[in-house]
Amino acid sequence: MSITSRQHHESNLTDHHRAIVVGYGVVGRMVALELERRGMNVTIVEMNLNTIEKQLNLDKKVCYGDVLAPDTLTRAGIDSADVLVLAVPNELDAVNACRVARELNPDIFIAARTNYVSKGMLATQAGADCVIVEEIVTAKAMQDAVIEKLNDKAAMAPPTESDDVTGAQKDVL
């Protein structure tokens, strides 16, 4: 199956940057919607036929296929794309897709998703320009949530004698 769209805008392909988003779960969908909002032409590469059907009904450009097959990326238009977003949950597929994509288009910007730092390093070695490592993002979010909660508690706590400037001044005098 090749790229399909109920409403194909050839003129837009030359007027705007092009992106390919591989994997249209939560991550891929959020990235694709933001890229579209910013005027980019987005092609979705997906294996889930239900997702493909839903996106076709929304007039999205969709390409069915396995990202590890060079033919899939070729049909998705990698030769003229500016950005490749590898949002697939299988990090080994993301790493290997970096190699395939880099061979097909040495100048494309590749953003990859991995679960672990070790696979993130492999994705970088395989050609990713940007790697989002889920365990780091999760750690940072948890850290921020805990610190925010501790700061809220500190702000609500009654002042102690050490917080009281006048108390500290009395000790000095």
Is residue 157 pLDDT above 80, yes or no? no
Q: Which of 11, 19, 131 is nearest to 83 (CA)?
A: 19
Q: Are strands 18-22 and 83-86 parallel, antiparallel or unpaired?
A: parallel
What is residue 65's predicted lDDT score, i.e. its pLDDT?
Answer: 96
- Cα separation, 98 vs 75, whole angstroms: 17
For residue 7, what pLDDT band results from cuts at 50, 70 and 90? very low
- Contacts of 20 by beta carbon, 8 Å cutoff, 6+ apart: 42, 43, 44, 45, 73, 76, 77, 78, 81, 83, 84, 85
What domains appear along the chain, each with residue ranges and CATH number? 10-172 (3.40.50.720)
pLDDT higher for 67 or 3?
A: 67
pTM: 0.78
What is residue 152's predicted lDDT score, i.e. its pLDDT?
Answer: 81
- Give pLDDT tens digits for 13-60: 335 699 999 999 999 999 999 999 999 999 999 999 999 999 999 999
Q: Residue with structure tokens 């909002």?
A: 37
